[in-house]
Amino acid sequence: MNQTALITGATSGIGKATAEIFAKNNIRLILCGRRLERLLELQEKLSTQTEVAILQFDVSKREEVEKAINSLSEKFNHIDILINNAGNAHGLSTLQEGNIDDWDKMMDINVKGLLYVSKAIIPQMTKRNNGFIVNIGSIAGKEVYPNGNVYCASKHAVNALNKAMRIDLNKHNIRVSGIHPGAVETEFSDVRFKGDTKKAKSVYTGYKALQAEDIADIIYFVISRPYHVNIEDLVVYPTAQASATILNRD
Ligand code: NDP
Ligand code: 8X3
């Protein structure tokens, strides 16, 4: 085992599936999220395959981020791969009807959270002139769709920050990749619709949505290329989806 990855949002969906495929491939793991029980459960499960540390923190709380990352033991404090995955949509409505608390959450978690975590980890990568950052964006960062406004803005920011990292970290030999999925069947829509499971389920009915494992496979492919190969940007749709609003349902 010679690589360590820190994954934000490892308690569910894409982050959890990424932890699973990384564990299978013997990558040492630092699993992050707010839900401690889930972190402990996953740690126990994956510890049969690799070494696993957990960090419970809210990415949008700057001090929590710094404290958590500074608390890593020596064994886990050499992070080769950072997967900036934590994030969600909160609400789906026009701007004029939008909920400002939802806007704050999306900008604080999806944008500022990604920055706080990156800022805490990048210095060790620049010092070593080595490292890999994978930013999970979205098709919402490539186009704007009705009622998506602030979530789309947050993911456009992730897309911009991904490009900015490529530029700023270039002289430090650090690889940076953005992965931008379309519809993935996770807890994403439960969060967006605040626990309205019927509404959430309807997002994924009538076609085969991407599964978290599909994106995790791609993340593993991206990080396992030879070091001189950097896949900058990938947009990944389910076959049935042509854009955020064009879905070929049964
Ligand atoms: P899930 O809701 O299943 O997972 C979201 C993860 O983010 C959870 O592990 C959650 O952990 C973590 N998270 C959310 N808020 C915070 C916070 N404040 N602090 C720390 N962790 C947080 O959704 P997905 O797996 O689908 O989403 C993962 C990423 O993929 C997100 O960035 C999302 O925007 C993006 N994406 C998703 C798509 C989809 O259709 N599902 C499509 C395109 C992009 P916890 O609650 O334990 O803190
Ligand atoms: C999640 C996909 O289309 O709901 O980022 O924005 S979408």
For the segment 126-176, what is each residue's pLDDT rounded down to a tens digit?
999 999 999 999 999 999 999 999 999 999 999 999 999 999 999 999 999
Q: What is the CATH number of the domain that holds 33?
A: 3.40.50.720
Q: Is the CB of 138 under 6 A from ligand 2?
A: yes
Residue 248 lies in a domain: no
Give the per-residue pLDDT at 244.
97
Dist. CA 200–CA 195, nearest whole Å:
8
Residue 5 pLDDT more than 80?
A: yes
Q: Are 215 and 160 in contact (CB under 8 A)?
A: no
pTM of structure: 0.99
If you take atom 4 of ligand 2, which residue's CA is the nearest one? 183
Domain of residue 196: give its range.
4-236
If you take atom 5 of ligand 2, which residue's CA is the nearest one? 138
From the CA of 183, give the closest atom in ligand 1: 40
- Enumerate the β-bridge partners of residue 29: 5, 52
Dist. CA 162–CA 133, nearest whole Å:
9
Measured in degrees and rounded to the nearest 5, phi and psi for residue 31 equal: -100, 130
Residue 162 lies in a domain: yes
Neighbours of 175 (CB within 10 A): 24
Residue 15 lies in a domain: yes
Catalytic residue ranges: 151, 155
The 3-state DSSP class for residue 206 equals coil
Residue 242 lies in a domain: no
Residue 223 lies in a domain: yes
Dist. CA 49–CA 42, nearest whole Å:
11
Residue 192 lies in a domain: yes
Residue 244 lies in a domain: no
Give the per-residue pLDDT at 197.
97
Confidence of residue 1 (pLDDT cuts 50, 70, 90): low
Residue 164 lies in a domain: yes
For the segment 55-96, what is each residue's pLDDT rounded down to a tens digit?
999 999 999 999 999 999 999 999 999 999 999 999 999 999
Q: Specify the number of domains making up the chain.
A: 1
Among 151, 187, 246, the mutation site with the greatest number of ligand 2 atoms within 8 A of its Cβ is 151
- The dihedral through the CA atoms of 205, 206, 210, 211 has a sign that is positive
